[in-house]
Amino acid sequence: MKTILCIGAGYVGGPTMAMIAKKCPDIKVLVVDIDAARIQAWQSDRLPIYEPGLAELVKATLNKNLFFSTDVAAGIREADIIFVSVNTPTKTFGEGAGRAANLQYWEKTAREIKANATSDKIVVEKSTLPVRTAEAMERILHSGNKTVHFEVLSNPEFLAEGTATKDLETPDRILIGGHDTESGHRAVAALADVYAHWVPRNRILTTSVWSSELSKLAANAFLAQRISSINSLSALCERTEANISEVARAIGMDARIGSRFLNASVGFGGSCFKKDILNLVYLCQHYGLTEVATYWEQVVTMNEYQEDRFAKKMSSTMFNTVAGKRIAVFGFAFKADTGDTRESPAIRVCRYLIEERAAVVVTDPKALENAKKDLADLAGKITYEPDPYKAAEGAHALAVITDWEDYATLDYKRIYDSMVKPAFIFDGRNCLDHKTLFEIGFNVHPIGKIPLSHL
């Protein structure tokens, strides 16, 4: 039986390996992590991450052909193929701080693989990495080593949180980058065979290692760019009485543009978009491509502008002050169907409101624990309330930050009756029924649309 190891049991490593285990009963799948609590959680009924369908997926394979452990060295010795799916956050110190990827966790795994491998291995870059990282990985793996051969492949992950199991089961494509050598071709074929257990061969794309590494950064940059583009126009809509939903529909019907990823919002969040664009920006700067770097950096600048614009609009609409006012923040996760709050627009919006001395109460069905960690320095200044009705009680305004489906079907008459008047709703996702809310009595402020105001 073939053994696959994944180093890093996070949002990518856990779900991806669970899917491989389910689809490949002939393969033993080991997932290791240095975080013992995380490993323990994967083996329990309370998984370390929330993702629809994931609990069932893990349950179906756990301890059959899917195993979680903290013994990284033993896993390396046993495996034929080693996926590396450790975190690659933005560097916060030294050269490239705030832009470059922090590769310290990555490099550590390379050294661990080298120290423990006793037979040839295929090493797969699953993490998102700067272009040409595989070159550095190969150098480390082969330094002072003549006996074991390591073939490094790039196989970036395109899953989105909230839809991870679906994305893994029916991916748009699987991308595998390998070297144009005999051992490179063999390794690419071996990895393609794993995915071919359930992904049609014509969706398994093979390229050079460098194209594969760059394609991952490029895909995220293009997706984020669409959101920043539509968000930039939402600001213009608010000045000109054009409606951003109508504009998005009109342009999205052009088959060349396409309709997806054109929802104007309070801003994009998530652990990937900002980090990966800044990584791209840093790479361009490194290669002296200043104009290219500036072009992509603007996507992030526009996103921060949109988050700030939303927060400031709340204050200016509410008679230029939120001080002492109770504001119920509906949703802290960076998108629906996840408990993940990394880079959530809610963080910036809440910080602004607290700075302006508002009494902030945050509600979210899955993300309150993470919210408390993100805003730990504001402990005592923010209230956390799982029940949205209680959160809204006595509030002057609701700010919808996450598009949780449940928020569209709440009893807004009941909520309105419990709020201070005039009552405001700032819909940062355009996910509520604005006309009905207005008829109930709310002053409704969407993104990129004319406000519905009784004042």
State the catalytic residues.
Answer: 272
Shortest reach from residue 38's CB to ligand NAD, in Å: 5
Residue closest to ligand UDX (Cβ): 270
- For ligand NAD, the closer of residues 75 and 365 by Cβ is 75
The Cα–Cα gap between 192 and 205 comes to: 9
Taking phi over 0 as left and psi of -120 to 50 as alpha, with beta for the rest, 132 belongs to left
Q: Are 159 and 90 in contact (CB under 8 A)?
A: no
Q: State the binding partner of 262 from ligand UDX, ligand NAD, none, CB within 5 to 8 A by kind.
A: ligand UDX
The Cα–Cα gap between 334 and 262 comes to: 16
Cα–Cα nearest to 328, from 408, 265, 390, 417: 390
Where along the sequence are the contacts to ligand NAD (CB under 6 A)? 7-13, 32-35, 38, 72, 85-88, 105, 108-109, 127-128, 157, 159, 161, 271-272
- Residue 270 touching ligand UDX (CB under 6 A): yes
The Cα–Cα gap between 301 and 424 comes to: 28
Q: State the binding partner of 33 from ligand NAD, ligand UDX, none, CB within 5 to 8 A by kind.
A: ligand NAD
Give how many residues touch ligand UDX by CB under 6 A.
Answer: 19
Shortest reach from residue 195's CB to ligand NAD, in Å: 16
Shortest reach from residue 112's CB to ligand NAD, in Å: 6
Q: State the binding partner of 335 from ligand NAD, ligand UDX, none, CB within 5 to 8 A by kind.
A: ligand UDX
Residue ranges with strand state E in 172-269: 174-177, 204-207
Residues whose CB falls within 8 Å of the CB of residue 440, separated by 6 or more in sequence, listed in order: 412, 413, 416
Shortest reach from residue 270's CB to ligand UDX, in Å: 3
- For ligand NAD, the closer of residues 105 and 438 by Cβ is 105
Type and span of the H or E element at 134:
helix 133-142
- Residue 125 touching ligand UDX (CB under 6 A): no
Shortest reach from residue 160's CB to ligand UDX, in Å: 3
Site string for ligand UDX, 132-161 (x = CB under 6 A): -------------------------xxxxx
The Cα–Cα gap between 310 and 423 comes to: 17
- For ligand NAD, the closer of residues 16 and 61 by Cβ is 16
- For ligand NAD, the closer of residues 127 and 243 by Cβ is 127
Q: State the binding partner of 268 from ligand NAD, ligand UDX, none, CB within 5 to 8 A by kind.
A: ligand UDX
CB pairs under 8 A, 24+ apart, for 245-251?
245/430, 245/448, 245/449, 247/448
- Residue 220 touching ligand UDX (CB under 6 A): yes
- Residue 272 touching ligand UDX (CB under 6 A): yes
- For ligand UDX, the closer of residues 65 and 263 by Cβ is 263
Q: State the binding partner of 72 from ligand NAD, ligand UDX, none, CB within 5 to 8 A by kind.
A: ligand NAD
- In this structure, are strands 2-7 and 27-32 parallel, antiparallel, or unpaired? parallel
Within positions 304 to 363, which residues make up the interface with ligand UDX, using CB under 6 A? 334-335
Shortest reach from residue 432's CB to ligand NAD, in Å: 27
Cα–Cα nearest to 404, from 429, 436, 441: 429
- For ligand UDX, the closer of residues 49 and 72 by Cβ is 49
Instruction: Find the DSSP H helices in 318-404.
Output: 345-355, 368-374, 388-392
- For ligand NAD, the closer of residues 271 and 363 by Cβ is 271
Distance between start and end Cα atoms, the chain = 71
Which pair of tokens denotes residue 45?
A: 């009924």
DSSP string, 102-127: --HHHHHHHHHHHHH--S-EEEEE-S
Shortest reach from residue 306's CB to ligand UDX, in Å: 9
Phi, psi for residue 169 in degrees, rounded to 5: -75, -40
The Cα–Cα gap between 304 and 228 comes to: 10
Tokens 């919210």 correspond to: 371
Q: State the binding partner of 334 from ligand UDX, ligand NAD, none, CB within 5 to 8 A by kind.
A: ligand UDX
Whether residue 422 has a cis bond before it, omega within 30° of 0: yes
Shortest reach from residue 317's CB to ligand NAD, in Å: 34
- For ligand NAD, the closer of residues 371 and 382 by Cβ is 371
Residues lying near ligand UDX in the complex (CB under 6 A) are found at 157-161, 220, 223, 227, 261-263, 265, 268-270, 272-273, 334-335
